Amino acid sequence: MFLRKSLLCVACLLALSSPAWAAPAHTYDFGHPASAAKATRSVEFIMGDMSFTPKAIDIKAGETVRFVLVNKGQLLHEFNLGNAAMHAKHQKEMMKMQQSGMLMPAGMKEMDHGAMAGMAGMEHGMKHDDPNSVLVEPGKTAELTWTFTKATNLEFACNIPGHYQAGMVGKVTVSQ
């Protein structure tokens, strides 16, 4: 009896420590987050209501860029790195966050994320914690530092409902 319980406990521990049971890690084929200390340059983006300045940026593969995001608008905005398909998917998630009352025009409302797990399309509940994205409240400044690992064409965008469609999107060209 003791041996059976011991083996069962070991099996449970192994199963729980297995990567298959862990929440999926955020991975991106175009790069990864980095510390600001590793940045080879900084670029300031001004976020107005429905605009980014500058509208495009050129980067070299292997470069680490510190994005300094200044929200001079009256609304909450997002800076998100990805391709058009990633933005379309994220926009659906942001719409659900807005419909739930979590996403407000000027900020995020703290909610019980665990209680929202299982909502359609939100496998792990609602939260805004992707490493390629940052929310910036009106009048605030935030940073995102990213290492770009390969040549590609991307976008930076605000995926708050309606903002991308209103023109809050720009081009990132990563060259060799």
**174 CB-contact burial (10 Å; exposed 0-12 / middle 13-18 / buried 19+):** buried
Residue 128 is predicted with a pLDDT of 78
Residue 20 is predicted with a pLDDT of 39
What b/e readout covers 97-125, taking b as 16+ CB neighbours within 10 angstroms?
beeeebbeeeeeeebeeeebeeeeebeee
Residue 87 has pLDDT above 90, yes or no: yes
- Dump pLDDT digits (tens) for 95-122: 999 999 999 999 988 654 444 444 444 4
- Dump pLDDT digits (tens) for 28-51: 999 999 999 999 999 999 999 999
Q: Which domains does the chain have, with CATH numbers?
A: 33-175 (2.60.40.420)
Q: Where are the alpha helices (DSSP H) in 18-163?
A: 84-99
Band of pLDDT at residue 25, cut at 50, 70 and 90? low
Q: How far apart are CA 147 and CA 32, in angstroms?
A: 5
Residue 176 is predicted with a pLDDT of 95
Residue 54 is predicted with a pLDDT of 98
Residue 77 is predicted with a pLDDT of 97
Which SS3 state, helix, strand or coil, does residue 64 take?
strand
The pLDDT mean for the chain works out to 83
